Amino acid sequence: MSSVVYKSIIKVADKFVPAKLVPLWNHPAGPKTVFFWAPCVKWILVIAGIGDLKRPPEKMSVFQASALAVTGTIWARYSLVIIPVNYSLFLVNIFVGLTGFYQLSKIYNYRRGLAILEKKRNYL
């Protein structure tokens, strides 16, 4: 049932696509496929990760940041080996991974600073 609805929508939309955008529209990773829409929706993770950059490091989750970093890295690699190669998926996953790694570095630096302060207190 849903494929019938989808095909009907695409058939109608095909008529409105400008000639210059037809190659993109019909591309194997174009708007007619999940290869296009999945990366578009995944940008929400990047936006959420950027929003977390304002969060104090003591309230950040190592597990969440690690999950972003690892999955971003794995899926970035995957997006270059699948057919069709999906550069939009690659780009969004690079940003997901970078966001995770940045959060991890922020947490690490905060905890290292706490450890240094603790050593100074114990020394005095």
Give the integer Cα–Cα distance in Å for 124 and 109. 23
Give the residue among 103, 107, 89, 106 at the shortest CA–CA distance from 30: 89
In the predicted structure, residue 37 carries a pLDDT above the cut 70 = yes
CA distances from 32 to 2, 9, 10, 39 (A): 14, 10, 7, 13
In the predicted structure, residue 109 carries a pLDDT above the cut 90 = yes
Give the residue among 74, 70, 69, 3 at the shortest CA–CA distance from 34: 3
Query: Tens of pLDDT along 59-106?
Result: 999 999 999 999 999 999 999 998 888 899 999 999 999 999 999 999
Structure tokens at 6: 């989808």
pTM for the predicted model, two decimal places: 0.77
* pLDDT value for 97: 96
Residue boundaries of the structural domains of the chain: 1-28, 33-123
Work out the pLDDT band at 36, boundaries 50, 70, 90: confident
